[in-house]
Amino acid sequence: MSSTDDSYSMTCSLPSSLEQTPLSSLSAASSYSSLVNCDETISIQHDQQQEQQQHIERKIKTNDMKSDTNNKMTNGYNNINKRSPHSTLLHRHVNKLCSILEQPIEIHGQGSFPALNIVPKDFLIELRRAFHVNQIDIKNIRLNGGAASYVLTNDKSFSYTDIDFVFRCDLSSETIWTQIKTIVCECLSQQIPSTSSQLSLSPIIIQAAYVEKIVRVINPSNNDSWALISLYNINGQNIELKFVDRMKRQFQFSVDSFQILIDPLLDYYDRISKYQQQINKKQQYYQNDYRSSKNNRYIYRYPIISVECLYGSFDAALTHLNRRHIVTTSPEGIHGGGLLKYCLLLTRGYRPYDNGISSWQLEKLMCSRFFIDFADINEQEYKLLSYLSSHFANDDSAKYRYLLQLSTIIERSTVCLMAHERNLTLTLITQLATDYYYRLYDEYNTYNITTAEVTVPNSITIDVIYHNELDEWKSLYTPSKSQSQLQQEEEN
CA atoms of 153 and 132, how far apart (whole Å): 34
pLDDT at 59: 57
Query: Among the three residues 274, 292, 323, which one is the final residue of a domain in this structure?
Result: 323
- Mark whether 121 and 258 lie in a shared domain: yes
pLDDT at 192: 87
Structure confidence by residue, pLDDT tens digits, 424-464: 999 999 999 999 888 887 655 544 544 334 344 343 333 33
- Mark whether 90 and 221 lie in a shared domain: yes
Q: Beta-strand (E) ranges in 255-411?
A: 258-261, 306-309, 325-326, 351-352
Residue 434 domain-assigned (yes or no) = yes
Residue 67 domain-assigned (yes or no) = no
- Mark whether 255 and 369 lie in a shared domain: no
- In the predicted model, residues of the chain with pLDDT beneath 70 are 1-82, 195-200, 282-300, 442-492
CA-atom Rg of the chain in angstroms: 40
- Mark whether 384 and 307 lie in a shared domain: no
Q: Write out the residue range of the structural domain in which residue 138 sits.
A: 83-192+201-283+300-323
- Mark whether 318 and 429 lie in a shared domain: no
Residue closest to 179 by CA, chosen among 138, 140, 143:
138
- Mark whether 310 and 363 lie in a shared domain: no
CA atoms of 376 and 421, how far apart (whole Å): 10
Residue 55 domain-assigned (yes or no) = no
- Mark whether 205 and 123 lie in a shared domain: yes
Residues 6+ apart with CB under 8 A from 280: none
- Mark whether 111 and 188 lie in a shared domain: yes
pLDDT at 476: 38
CA atoms of 344 and 403, how far apart (whole Å): 10
Residue 4 domain-assigned (yes or no) = no
- Mark whether 97 and 235 lie in a shared domain: yes
pLDDT at 265: 94
Residue 119 to residues 105, 157, 163, 312, 400: CA-CA distances in angstroms? Answer: 6, 24, 12, 32, 33
- How many domains is the chain built from? 2
pTM > 0.95: yes or no: no
pLDDT at 143: 97
pLDDT at 284: 66
pLDDT at 402: 95
